[in-house]
Chain A
Amino acid sequence: MIKEGMVLTFILELIMGIALLVVVKRARAGKKIPVIHEIPGLKALEEAVGRATEMGAPIMFVPGKGDLADAQTYAALPVLEYVAKSCAEYDTRIIVPLGVAVVYPVAEAVTRQAFQVSGKGDAYRETDVRFINEQNWAWAAGINGIMEREKVSAQILFGAFWAESLFLAEAGNRAGAMQIAGTASTSQIPFFVAACDYTLIGQEIFAASAYLNPEPSTTGGLVVQDWGKMLGLVLVLLGSILVTLGSNAIAELMLK
C-alpha cells in the first residue's frame, strides 16, 4: 500500500500533522505553548524600515529566485507582508524586483493587500512590484541597477538563492544599504554571512512567520517544527549508536 522508502516519511508526516492540529487547537484555547526566542535578523526589520523612513529612501525586498514549488518562497511571503505593512504605515516606498514570473502576481497581491490593510491603499505603487527577468544574471544586474539609481537604504533578501546571492549582497554593501538576508540554500549562506548585517540561517526563515505574526496557527507550527527537529536529532543519535553497535535498523526503517 505504501511505496517503498516512504513508510518513515508517512509516519513522520502523520505525527507532525496531528501534532500541528493539536498544538494549534491548544493555542487557540488559550493554553500555554512555549515562548518564541528572539531572532536578531527579524528584529532588525523594524530598524531597516526606520532607517529607510529617516533617510526618505526606499527599501528593496527580494523574495529569492525560487518558484511557487519552493517552500522558501512561501517562507519569504509573510516577511514581505510584514515589511510592506511597516512601509505603508511609515509612508516608505518598497521595491520588490522579481526574477520568477509565477511569483510576480503572488508578491503583487501580498504587497497590495499589506498597503490596503494599513489603510494606505492609495500609496501603493503597482510598478514598484516588478518583474525583471527569469535569467538569474539579468535579474541580478537589474536589481543592481535599481539599487544604484534609487539609492536604496536597506535590502532584504529572503528565500531561495543561487550563485547570484553574493552579487546582490555585495552590490547592496557597496551602495551602503543595511542588509538582512535569510535563506535555506546552504551553499549561499556563507556569502550572506560575509556580506550582510544579519543573516537568518536554514529553518529560521520558516520561523519568521511565527515571530512576525504571533498567532495560534503560526506559533503552533513553530512548536511542531522544533519537535520535528528534536525527533530528527533523536533518530540521528539512535542511528549512530546502533550503527556503532553493528545494527542498521534505522537505515533499514528509512528504506522500507
Chain B
Amino acid sequence: MKREGPVALLMISGFLYIISVIVASPAMEPVAATLDDWYKVVVGFINLVGVISLTQVNGRAVLRRSEGWFYNAILLVVLYGYIILGLVGGLHNVAFNLIYDNILTPILMTIFSTLTFWIGSAAYRAFRAKNADAAILLVAAVVVMIGRVTLGSAISPAIPKAAEWILNFPTVAGMRAIEMSAAIGGIVLALRMITGLERSFMGFD
C-alpha cells in the first residue's frame, strides 16, 4: 500500500487534470484550479522542509566547528532573525523591507552582474575556430554582434540584414525544433507517469 497508494493517487489526479484541461464541462471546470491550489499549499508547506535542511546542514557545521563555521552561524542568525522580523513586524515592516531592498537585492544583483565576465570567458572558448562547426559559429556570432550595433550598418547595410536573417530564420528554426521535440518528450514522460510506468521520482522502482 505504501507504494500503490501514491501511484494510484498520481494516476487519478493526472487523468482528472488532463480531462479538466481538454473537456469543456462545468463539472470539470474547477478540477484543474483546485489541484493547482493544492499544489501551491503543498509547496508553501514544504518551504518549511527547506528551512529544516538549512538548519541541519549549517547547525551541524557550527556544532562541529567545521572550517568556516562562523559563516554557517551567520546564515542561521540571518535566516531565523529575518523570519522573526517578518512574523513580528509583518510584511510592511520598514526594517523588513529595508533589509530586502538595500541589502539582499544589491547582493543578488552583484552576483548577477558577474555574468558579464562569465559570458566573456565562455564566448572566448566557444568561438575558437577549432573545426568547421566552431568556425561557422564564430562567423555567425561576429555577424550578429556587429549587426546589432551601429558599427555594423557603418561598415555595410548588409550586415544588420544578415544579423536579422540569422536570428529570425536559422536560429528560430533550430529553437522550435528543440522546443517541439522536448514538448513531445514531456508529453510521453507525463503519460508514463500517469499510467504508472515511471516511478523513479517516488524514491522506489
Pick the contact of B114 from A3, A126, A167, A225 — CB < 8 Å?
A167
B23 in contact with A101 (CB, 8 Å): no
**B152, chain A: closest CB distance, angstroms:** 21
Secondary structure of the B contact surface, majority rule: helix
A105 in contact with B187 (CB, 8 Å): no
Contacts A170-B121, A206-B188, A206-B189 known; A77 to B201 CB distance under 8 Å? yes
B163-205 vs A, CB cutoff 8 Å, 1 = contact: the mask equals: 0000000000001011111101111111111010110111111
A207 in contact with B185 (CB, 8 Å): yes
**B75, chain A: closest CB distance, angstroms:** 10
A193 at the interface (CB under 8 A from B): yes
B197 in contact with A113 (CB, 8 Å): no
Instruction: Report how far A105 CA is from B53 CA in the complex, Å.
Output: 10
B175 in contact with A71 (CB, 8 Å): no
Pick the contact of B185 from A6, A113, A195, A225 — CB < 8 Å?
A225
The interface on chain B, measured as residues whose beta carbon lies within 8 A of the other chain's beta carbons, has a size of 58
Give chain B interface residues in 108-125, CB to chain A under 8 Å: 108, 111-112, 114-115, 118-119, 121-123, 125
Instruction: Report how far A191 CA is from B205 CA in the complex, Å.
Output: 34
A123 at the interface (CB under 8 A from B): no
Instruction: Report how far A24 CA is from B198 CA in the complex, Å.
Output: 12
B52-81 vs A, CB cutoff 8 Å, 1 = contact: the mask equals: 011011001000000110000000000000
A3 in contact with B185 (CB, 8 Å): no
B49 in contact with A166 (CB, 8 Å): no
CB neighbours of A228 from chain B (8 A):
184, 187-188
Contacts A113-B203, A167-B118, A184-B178 known; A2 to B60 CB distance under 8 Å? no
Contacts from B to A (Cβ < 8 Å): 18, 21-25, 39, 42-43, 46-47, 49-50, 53-54, 56-57, 60, 67-68, 108, 111-112, 114-115, 118-119, 121-123, 125-126, 175, 177-182, 184-193, 195, 197-198, 200-205
Q: Closest 7 CB pairs between A and B?
A: A109-B203, A206-B185, A101-B50, A71-B186, A184-B182, A194-B126, A202-B178
Pull 22 A–B residue pairs with CB atoms less than 8 Å apart, ordered by A. A2-B23, A10-B22, A13-B18, A71-B185, A101-B46, A109-B203, A110-B203, A113-B203, A113-B204, A127-B56, A130-B54, A130-B57, A131-B53, A149-B67, A166-B119, A167-B115, A169-B122, A170-B121, A173-B121, A191-B122, A207-B185, A221-B197
Q: Apart from A1-B23, A6-B22, A67-B43, what are 7 other A-B pairs with CB-CB below 8 Å?
A: A1-B24, A2-B23, A184-B182, A184-B186, A202-B181, A206-B186, A221-B192
